[in-house]
Amino acid sequence: MKMAWANLFNRDLTSSESAQGQRTPMMEFDQPMLWVTLLLMLTGIVMVYSASINLPDSSKVKALTSHHYLVRQSAYVVISLIVGLLAFRVRIEQWQKFAPWLLTGGLILMIIVLIPGISHEVKGARRWIGFHGVNFQPSELMKLAFVLYAADYTVRKQHYMNKLRKGFFPMAGAVGAVGVLLLWQPDLGAFGVIICITMGILFLGGFNIIWFSGMLSVLITIFSLMIAFAPWRRDRMLAYLDPWNADPLGKGYQLTHSLIAFGRGEFFGVGLGGSIEKLQYLPEAHTDFLLAVIGEELGLAGVLIVTLMFYWLVRRAFDIGRQAIVLDNIFAGLTAKGIGIWIGAQTFINMGVNLGLLPTKGLTLPLMSYGGSGILMNCIGIAILLRIDYENRSLMRGGRT
């Protein structure tokens, strides 16, 4: 399989012209990143199947077969890999041109998803656009769009990064518009990730540290007020602080059963397929709480391996971004680091929720949890990372991108 994928990429990379006009072989892409990504997705398929195999026993989804989610997740992965391959072939300068259009398209979809009759509602949240049994989540597109847009914005506004009117307020307006739409759904978790992406790229792009600290304080105040004046968010926060006593059968139900799953797993787990919590005890075990099933079945060892793979991906993204900046490709460098922030922030939040370190946010584990929109956008993000690394290598060897 490894040789097949390598040959597929190498065929697509044919050749490029060197600075002297001669044609030289294309530089190799970052193969370790590809294999780590594939390993995470394949592990995700196995764990999604394990976590969902007993779901048809529930009266809500009794019409489904035991392999329903396995088939769909496998299809999502295959489609995402194909789209990722196509995305890899797009030059980074083209992605920079696409950035404003992706943001505009994402905003339109975010408005459409709020229209009754078009959106697909789950437990009171309208986050998906349904079409013939396939649902798309616009907030996943917005994460990628904001990585590209924030990087492009920072490059274009470099001379105004220390000024509020021309440097901060336009970006704040874009984030605010998306924030209103996300909170209307509601989807506080996705808004948190977008805030992390935007703030991270602005900081790395040279935004004034004093204004940055002030903005961070304002955001913390806003989030605190949102929790204080929203009863259901306040109840969830109280349940998170003391899930065993505050409301163990209500708001704290998911967290208590997630912690039980980790406790049962101990160091090496109860064995693949041996989870008890997935048997209708732990809600959303195949999506938001997939890590809890991994912890129960594969133990601390399995959780640490998954964590290390994500850490390697994020660190590699920052290494690629730093190399691009050294080569004077600022947009590519900020984009690579933005993708690292995106994957790192979402992974941290999901793992924190599963382990009881953060309140429940409804975010999936990147590349692993069930869901086509997330897998698709994650693959496009990794493909862009691979393309940036490929162009870095080509430039360092005197070729063209």
pLDDT digits (tens, 9 = 90+) for 120-137: 666 666 777 877 667 888
| 196 part of a folded domain | yes
DSSP secondary structure letter of residue 164:
I
Burial of 319 (0-12, 13-18, 19+ CB in 10 A): middle
State yes or no: pLDDT of 34 exceeds 90. Answer: yes
Please tell me the total count of domains within the chain.
1
| 232 part of a folded domain | yes
Structure tokens at 62: 């009794």
pLDDT band for position 9 (cuts 50, 70, 90) = very low
| 350 part of a folded domain | yes
Q: Please give the mean pLDDT across all residues of the chain.
A: 83
pTM of model > 0.85: yes
Q: What is the pLDDT of residue 235?
A: 67
Q: What is the pLDDT of residue 53?
A: 87
| 378 part of a folded domain | yes
Contact 143, 345 (CB under 8 A): no
- Integer Cα distance of 92 and 298 in angstroms: 39
pLDDT band for position 188 (cuts 50, 70, 90) = confident
Q: What is the pLDDT of residue 333?
A: 95
| 304 part of a folded domain | yes
Q: What is the pLDDT of residue 24?
A: 43
Q: What is the pLDDT of residue 399?
A: 64
| 55 part of a folded domain | no
| 37 part of a folded domain | no
Question: Can you tell me the mean pLDDT for 171-180?
Answer: 84
State which residues form the domain around 364: 114-396
pLDDT band for position 358 (cuts 50, 70, 90) = confident
| 3 part of a folded domain | no
